[in-house]
Amino acid sequence: MKRGDFVIIVLVFLVAGSIYGVKWMNNRNEHYAQGDLKAVITVNGKEYKTVSLTKEEQIIEMKTKFGHNILKVYDYGIQMTYSDAPLPIALEMGFISRPRQQIICIPARLMVEVVNPDRSIDDDDELDAVI
Look at the chain and report how many structural domains it folds into.
Answer: 2
My answer on whether 103 and 42 are in the same domain is yes
> 125: pLDDT confidence band, cut at 50, 70 and 90?
low
In a domain, 112, yes or no: yes
- For the cut 90, the answer to whether the pLDDT of residue 4 exceeds it is no
Question: d(Cα 105, Cα 111) in Å, to the nearest integer?
Answer: 6
My answer on whether 24 and 42 are in the same domain is no
Residue 25 belongs to domain spanning: 3-30
Kindly report whether the global pTM for this prediction surpasses the value 0.75: no
State residue 65's pLDDT score. 93
My answer on whether 57 and 90 are in the same domain is yes
The overall average pLDDT reported for the chain is 85
State residue 28's pLDDT score. 53
Model confidence pLDDT, tens digit, residues 27-69:
655 556 666 899 999 999 999 999 999 889 999 999 999 999 9
Cβ-proximal residues to 83 (8 Å cutoff; 6+ apart), any chain = 67, 68, 69, 70, 90, 91, 105, 108
CATH classification at residue 72? 2.60.320.10
Kindly state the average pLDDT of the residues 76-89: 92
